[in-house]
Amino acid sequence: MNTTPVVDSIHNKLTKAKLRFASDLSAYNHKAAEVCRKYKVPVIDLYDFTKKLGNVAYADNVHFKDFAREMQGSFLTEELRKQLE
């Protein structure tokens, strides 16, 4: 599973201890996908799923509101079910 998105303006306004940038996460997910493809490891795209929920899904800089977590959980359950078929 890849990492969830970050909104630079939200995250970096709320914390100065560890800045995060959307462009970095895209690079991390891209590199991880390359490694997974090489070793034939399936990837669940939680990044794109979560990004479609929009900024209203965020409870703070990196955590999600209950509705978003429920939707993520349902998505992950369905994706895992597909992989086990």
In a domain, 3, yes or no: no
pLDDT of residue 14: 62
Which pLDDT band holds residue 9 (cuts at 50, 70, 90)?
Answer: confident
In a domain, 1, yes or no: no
**42: domain range?**
8-84
What is the chain's percent helix, strand, coil content, to nearest 5?
60, 0, 35
pLDDT of residue 39: 97
In a domain, 2, yes or no: no
In a domain, 17, yes or no: yes
More confident residue, 10 or 41: 41
Number of domains observed in the structure of the chain: 1
| Structure confidence by residue, pLDDT tens digits, 12-66 | 666 667 777 777 888 899 999 999 999 999 999 999 999 999 999 998 877 899 9
DSSP characters for 31-64?
HHHHHHHHTT-----HHHHHHTT-GGGBSSSS-B
In a domain, 78, yes or no: yes
In a domain, 12, yes or no: yes
Contact criterion met (CB below 8 Å) for 58 and 10: yes
In a domain, 20, yes or no: yes
